[in-house]
């Protein structure tokens, strides 16, 4: 039988082998490009609709979020989309070698919150967008 420290090291090594790794948080570098802006807006809207926001609300919130990003380039950091339903949605853009991904990693409504920063709640690709760290 293995000693407890050896067992803990083996479990840690197994967990590291199956973890997705660290996500590089980035920002959309070409958000001023109309095609990228439309892609980002559609990705946010799709995720919000998947979270049971009405299509009209999802589209409106996505447009507002993207317009805010265009006006204020905040650099690589997560962002929040607040819905009139009382839910807050927490997103970030993940930089990949050849692509960008929009990740929904948390949501909060009232005192109830859920965060999943391992496999994420929802993901949408951002074709036509370039990302930077």
Give the confidence band of 22 by pLDDT, cuts at 50, 70, 90. low
Average confidence score pLDDT of the chain? 84
**pLDDT given at position 7:** 34
Give the confidence band of 121 by pLDDT, cuts at 50, 70, 90. very high
What are 87-117's pLDDT values in tens digits?
999 999 999 888 899 999 999 999 999 999 8
Residue 133 has pLDDT above 60, yes or no: yes
Contact 29, 131 (CB under 8 A): yes
What are the structure tokens assigned to 79, written together? 């962002």
In this structure, the number of other CB atoms found within 10 A of the CB of residue 27 comes to 19
- Listed by start position, the domains of the chain span 24-132
What are the structure tokens assigned to 21, written together? 């790794």
Nearest to 62 by CA among 74, 78, 46: 46
């Amino acid at each position: 039988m293995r000693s407890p420290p050896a067992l803990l090291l083996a479990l840690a090594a197994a967990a590291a082998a199956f973890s997705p790794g660290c996500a590089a948080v980035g920002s959309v570098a070409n958000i001023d490009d109309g095609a990228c802006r439309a892609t980002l807006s559609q990705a946010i809207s799709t995720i919000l609709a998947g979270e049971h926001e009405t299509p009209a609300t999802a589209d409106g919130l996505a447009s507002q979020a993207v317009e805010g990003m265009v006006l204020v380039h905040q650099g690589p950091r997560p962002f929040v989309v607040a819905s009139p339903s009382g839910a807050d949605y927490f997103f970030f853009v993940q930089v990949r070698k050849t692509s960008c991904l929009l990740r929904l990693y948390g949501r909060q409504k009232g005192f109830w919150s859920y965060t999943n920063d391992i496999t994420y709640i929802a993901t949408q690709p951002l074709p036509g967008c370039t990302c930077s760290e």
